[in-house]
Structure 1
Amino acid sequence: MTDSEPRKTASRGGKRERLASAAAEVFHQQGVERTTLNDIAQAADVPLGNVYYYFKTKDQLIEAALGAHRGRLADLTAQLDQLPDPAARLKALIAGWVEQREVAARYGCPFGTLAAELDKREDGLDQTAAGVLRALIDWAEEQFVQLGRADAHDLAVELVAAYQGMSMLANALRDPEVMATQGRRLAGWIDTLA
């Protein structure tokens, strides 16, 4: 949810992993409908024929991109879990969102935009996307539980909703400072709950 900086993906992992990671990035930048398999092959620095070897359909690439998002979220939350207390973990999550404010202003949330686009489909990929958002909510809920909050689930939903809202506004207004301002507000909110 914070790892969306456009970059060359050729140096990471095997071809399948590079293609999945490139798909996540290109879908974020261009949207699913505007993205071709060739766009993804170029971003992954893989010949187009290899795309078909690993993924027979664009939907399989979408599923792989969702898997890449799940993996990035798992890596991120594992890093955050190394911090000493739940308030610090939540505030570090928010700081990561703010660090990505230029990307959010240009393309929106790397995952929220994909989830919104997939919601318009009725092929089950919308529910797969929802699972990634649920994982973030579940992680945030656990942090609020550790803070002793009986309303932990509601607070987790509020936090993720605030992030999606500030990302969408930053993107619509092309104003990265929306993320900075709202990030400070959210960090202050966490302080009031701890």
Structure 2
Amino acid sequence: MAGIKSDKRRRLVKAAADLSHKHGLGKVALADIAKSADVPLGNVYYYFKTKAAIGEAVIAQRCNEFRQLRGMWEKNPLPKERLKAFIQMTVDNRKSLARSGCPVGSLCAEMGKERGALADEAALPFRELLTWTEAQFAALGRENDKKALAIHLLAALQGVSLLANCFRDPGLVLHEAEQLNTWIDGF
């Protein structure tokens, strides 16, 4: 029975994450989440008492996704290669980015307009990613400017994600990734 409950919750969170990426969490109705997850609407309330609770679950899922990706990137022995794997993740998702934007960036932008605890929590995936990226630059001997370099890299990837979405052009991601890989090679 516990497996069924956790599967329903997992499906609800996945549906909420997918729908909020496409439409924005504020525009997604609980009925839409239930339908997409193939779960009765009443079950949504069993797992999530409020829409904010769904937002928290989506944020937690995004953090977990980044943690899993970082685990894969860490298999690369060199920090340059780990940073390039991060860039490659953006390249690999360029079509989705052109269609719907960055799932984390979009959520942060949406939640940031409302302010409050959920907005602060929405930034957690980026905070963790920045900390990881800073560690990569520190491993490259750039301890003194690791934060600025990490922000530059994340800002470049978020900026090109936004532009790819704005212009519906995934090719922009390819061009920026090439520039960033050359920049990283210079360290």
TM-score (norm 2): 0.93
Alignment match, 1:6: none
Q: CA deviation at 1:124?
A: 1.2
CA distance in 1: counterparts of 2:141 and 2:15, whole angstroms: 40
1:161 aligns with 2:155: yes
Deviations 1:145-192 (A, max 9, x none): 111113111100111111110000000011110111101111111101
Counterpart pick for 1:171 among 165, 170, 173: 165
Give the unaligned 5+ runs of structure 1: 1-12
Give the unaligned 5+ runs of structure 2: 1-5
**Match runs of 1:170-189 below 5 Å:** 170-189=164-183
Counterpart pick for 2:86 among 88, 93, 109: 93
CA distance in 2: counterparts of 1:49 and 1:40, whole angstroms: 11
**Letter of the aligned partner of 1:187 in structure 2?**
N
1:140 aligns with 2:133: yes
**Letter of the aligned partner of 1:100 in structure 2?**
N
1:39 aligns with 2:25: no
CA distance in 2: counterparts of 1:25 and 1:38, whole angstroms: 14
Q: Computing the radius of gyration over CA atoms, which structure comes out larger, 1 or 2? A: 2
Q: CA deviation at 1:111?
A: 0.7
CA distance in 1: counterparts of 2:68 and 2:34, whole angstroms: 25
**Letter of the aligned partner of 1:104 in structure 2?**
L
Higher mean displacement: 41-50 or 121-130: 41-50
TM-score (norm 1): 0.90
**Letter of the aligned partner of 1:172 in structure 2?**
C
**Letter of the aligned partner of 1:170 in structure 2?**
A
Alignment match, 1:129: 122
Counterpart pick for 1:16 among 9, 33, 36: 9
**Match runs of 1:24-63 below 5 Å:** 24-63=17-56
1:80 aligns with 2:82: no
Sequence identity (%): 45
CA distance in 2: counterparts of 1:172 and 1:56, whole angstroms: 35
CA distance in 2: counterparts of 1:140 and 1:47, whole angstroms: 41
CA distance in 1: counterparts of 2:104 and 2:123, whole angstroms: 10
Detail structure 1 runs of 4+ shifted over 6 Å in the superposition: none
**SS of residue paired to 2:75:** coil
1:110 aligns with 2:103: yes
Number of equivalences: 181
Q: CA deviation at 1:130?
A: 1.5
Q: CA deviation at 1:123?
A: 2.8
